[in-house]
Structure 1
Amino acid sequence: MATPTLHADTQVGSNRHTTSGWRHWPQQAWWPWLTRSVAIAFFAVVAALIFRQARTVDWPAVLQALRDLPTAALALGGALALLSHFTYGSFDWVGRHCSGHRLPRGTTLAIAMTSYPFTLNLGSLIGGVGVRYRLYARRGVDPGTIGQVVGTSIVTNWVGYLLLAGVLAWLWQPPAVAGWAVTPWQWRLGGSVLGCLPLVYLALCTVRKGRALTLRGHAFPLPRWPVALWQIAASATNWMLMGAALWTVLQHQVPYPAALATVLLGAVAGLVLRVPAGLGVLEAVGVALLATDALGQEQVLAALLAYRALYYFGPLLLAAVALGVAELRWRQRPTQDA
C-alpha cells in the first residue's frame, strides 16, 4: 500500500517542480492579467504623450499648411502610394507560387489589393485574414491554402523591412527624443543584427532547396532561393515606395532616409500599440523625428495627415467599393446561373 502512495507523492512533487520555473509562467492564472496590465499601462502612457503633443499643436496653422500643399506633390505622392499598394498585392503571387492554387494572377492581385487597405486601417484580423479569406474562399480556395498564402505574405512583408532597417542604420541617425538618445555604434549594431536576418532566411532557403522546415512538430514551407530573393526585393521596394510617398508630400524638405525611418518606426509602433491605422502614432513619431527649426511641427503634421489620406483612407474607400461590388455580383450569380 505504501508504494503507490510514494509514487503519487513523487509525481505530485515532480509536477510542482515542472510548473514552478519561469518557462511555465504563461501557464499560470495570473499571467494573462499581468500581460494585459502592462499593455494597458503602455498604451496609456503613449496615449498621454500623444494627447499632450496634440494640445501644443496650432491646428489652424496645420489646416493652412494642408491647404498650401502643392497639387503636384499630392498627385505624385498618390501615384507612389498606388504603386506601393500594387507592389504589396504582388506578395500574394509568391503565395500563389508556393501554395499552388490556380487562381489567375489578376484575380490574386485584386484580392490582395482589396484586403490590404482593410489591414492598414482596421487591423490584420479584418483585412489580412477576414477579407482575404472571404474573397479566396468565394473562389474555391481551401482554408489551408489561404493560410499558407497569408503566412507567405506576412513573411514577405517583414523580410524587406528588416533589410532596410539594417541599411538605414548606416545612413541615418535618429535625433534625441524627450531627452533620450542612442549612440551611433548602438544604433548601427542593432540595425546590423536586424539586417542579417533576411540574409539568414535566404541562406536557409538555399540550403533547404524548397523543403519545409519542421520545428516542434510544425512544418513551415520554404521557397527556393530565387523566390526568397524576390520576396526580399519586392518587400524592400514596397517600403521604399511608402517612404518616397511621404518624402514627396514633405516636398523633399527632409532627407529621404528620415522619411523612410518615419514610415518604418511608425509601422512598428502602431503594430505594438494595436491602434487601428496607427492613428496618432505615425503622426507622433513623424513630428518627433522630422520637426526642426526650419520645418515646424505644423508643416510636418500637415504632410503626415495628407500622407495618411493618400495611403490609408483613399485606398480604403476604393477597396470598400470593390468589396461591395464583388459581394453584389456574387449574390446575383445564382440568379444569373438559373
Structure 2
Amino acid sequence: MKPRHPVLRRLWRITLWVFPLAVLALLAKAARTIDWPQVMATIAGYDATTLVAAVLMTSVSYLVYSGYDLAARRYAHHALSTRRVMLIAATAYAFALNIGALVGGTGLRFRMYSHAGLGVAAISRVIVFSTSTNWLGYLLLAGALFASGSVVPPPRFASGSSGLQIAGVVMLAAALLYLFACHRLHGRLFHVRGHHFRLPSVPLALVQFALATVNWSLMAGIIFVLLPAPADYPTVLGACLLAAVATALAHVPAGLGVLEAVFVAAFAQRIAPTQVLAALLAYRAVYFLAPLLLAVIAYLLLESRGKTVAAPARPR
C-alpha cells in the first residue's frame, strides 16, 4: 500500500528503485565466485529424457494457468471463446514471468482482453480473480507444507523451523478464512476504487485453490526433475515458494538471481552450487524464455486481428 504523505511517497519511490539495484549489485558480486564453465558443462550434460520431461511439465503448467482465466470467465460472466481466453492467459503469464506482473500480468492482459471486446469492468474482475487465484493456491500449498515441518529452512533463516511452521499455520488460516468468507458473503457487493466485486461461490473458490496448487506444484516439479539425485521434492517445493515471496519483495525482473540465491542456500549442504545453478538456468530457459518467444508471436497475432465487438455477457 502506497503512503499518502508526499515525502513518504517520494521515499517509497526511491526505495522501489534502490532496493532492487542493491540486490542486483550483491548478486553480481556473488556471481563472480561461480565456476561458470562447470555450470555450462552441467547443462550440456542433460539427457533428452530429462529435458522432454521438463518441457512436458511446462506445457501442462501453462495449460493449468490458462484455467485461471477460464474460471475467471465464469466469475466475470463474459462469453469469449475458450481458445481465445487460454491464448490470452498463457501469453500474459509468459510476459509476467519475464518482465513483471504489473506490466505482463495486468497491463498486457488488459490490452488483449480489451482488443477481444471486453469492457473495463469485466477485465478488472478477470484480473482480480486470476491474480487472487495464484496467491490463494500459494497460501494453501505453502501453509500446508510449512506447517507440516517437512521443510527445513537454510541455516541463516532468522526464525528457523518454528517460525516457518507458525507462518504456515497463519497461511492455512487465511485460506480457510477466504472459504468461509465466500460461504457467508457470496452475495454481497464490494466497491474498490470505482469497481464492483463479489466473492465467488464456494465451488468456484475450490477451483481456484485446485488450479493454483497444481500449478505451483508443477513449477517445483520442473526444477526437481532438473536437479541431481540428492534433491528431495519437499525441499524443492519449499524453496520455490520462498523464492516467490523473495522475488515479489525484491522487485527484480523475473526474480533474476533471487531464485538462484534461495536454492543455493537451501541445498548448500547437499548439492554443489554449480549443479543448482545449472538446473535453474535450464529451468529459466524451458519455463521463462521459450514460452516468452511463443508469447511474443501470440501477442502479435492477437494484435493483428484488431479490436473485436464485445461478446455478449452470459446470464448470471
TM-score, reference length from structure 1: 0.84
Following superposition, the deviation at residue 27 of structure 1 comes to: 3.2
Q: Say whether 1:318 aligns with 2:294.
A: yes
Q: Which of these residues, 88, 92, 101, is aligned with residue 111 of structure 1? A: 88
Following superposition, the deviation at residue 313 of structure 1 comes to: 0.4
Mark the structure with the bigger radius of gyration: 1
Following superposition, the deviation at residue 36 of structure 1 comes to: 3.4
Indicate the SS of the match to 1:57: coil
Give the gaps of 5 or more residues in structure 1: 1-24, 334-338
Q: Which of these residues, 288, 302, 306, is aligned with residue 282 of structure 2? A: 306
**Counterpart Cα distance in 2 of 1:155 and 1:187:** 22
Following superposition, the deviation at residue 181 of structure 1 comes to: 4.1
| Equivalent residue, structure 2, for 1:275 | 252
**Aligned 8 A contact 1:246 1:307 in 2:** yes
Give the gaps of 5 or more residues in structure 2: 309-316
| Equivalent residue, structure 2, for 1:153 | 130
Q: Which of these residues, 155, 175, 187, is aligned with residue 176 of structure 1? A: 155
Mapping 1:67-216, distance limit 5 Å? 67-169=44-146, 170=148, 171-177=150-156, 180-213=157-190
| Equivalent residue, structure 2, for 1:19 | none
**Counterpart Cα distance in 2 of 1:83 and 1:34:** 42
**Aligned 8 A contact 1:212 1:219 in 2:** yes
Deviations 1:284-329 (A, max 9, x none): 211111233x420000000000001111001001111111223234
Question: Aligned AA for 2:296?
Answer: A
| Equivalent residue, structure 1, for 2:208 | 231
Deviations 1:1-31 (A, max 9, x none): xxxxxxxxxxxxxxxxxxxxxxxx9333321
> Root-mean-square deviation (CA), in Å?
2.2
**Counterpart Cα distance in 1 of 2:253 and 2:10:** 23
Kindly tell me the number of residue pairs found equivalent between the two proteins: 305
**Counterpart Cα distance in 2 of 1:157 and 1:175:** 25
Following superposition, the deviation at residue 161 of structure 1 comes to: 0.2
**Aligned 8 A contact 1:137 1:143 in 2:** yes
Indicate the SS of the match to 1:90: helix
Following superposition, the deviation at residue 128 of structure 1 comes to: 1.6
Following superposition, the deviation at residue 87 of structure 1 comes to: 0.6
Question: Aligned AA for 1:172?
Answer: V
Question: Aligned AA for 1:304?
Answer: L
Q: Which of these residues, 248, 254, 269, is aligned with residue 231 of structure 2? A: 254
Indicate the SS of the match to 1:30: helix
TM-score, reference length from structure 2: 0.90
| Equivalent residue, structure 2, for 1:11 | none
Distance change >3 Å, CA 217–CA 325, structure 1 → 2? closer
Q: Say whether 1:297 aligns with 2:255.
A: no
**Counterpart Cα distance in 2 of 1:284 and 1:265:** 11
Question: Aligned AA for 1:175?
Answer: P
Distance change >3 Å, CA 93–CA 252, structure 1 → 2? farther
Indicate the SS of the match to 1:159: helix
Q: Which of these residues, 328, 333, 337, is aligned with residue 304 of structure 2? A: 328
**Aligned 8 A contact 2:57 2:222 in 1:** yes
Question: Aligned AA for 2:144?
Answer: V
**Counterpart Cα distance in 1 of 2:108 and 2:192:** 29
**Aligned 8 A contact 1:291 1:300 in 2:** no
Distance change >3 Å, CA 152–CA 48, structure 1 → 2? same
**Aligned 8 A contact 1:162 1:197 in 2:** yes
User: What percentage of residue pairs aligned between the two structures are identical?
Assistant: 39
**Counterpart Cα distance in 1 of 2:17 and 2:28:** 16
Q: Which of these residues, 33, 36, 40, is aligned with residue 63 of structure 1? A: 40
Following superposition, the deviation at residue 119 of structure 1 comes to: 0.9
**Counterpart Cα distance in 1 of 2:151 and 2:242:** 13
Following superposition, the deviation at residue 124 of structure 1 comes to: 2.0
Question: Aligned AA for 1:43?
Answer: P
**Counterpart Cα distance in 2 of 1:234 and 1:252:** 28
More moved, 311-320 vs 163-172: 163-172
**Counterpart Cα distance in 2 of 1:203 and 1:108:** 29
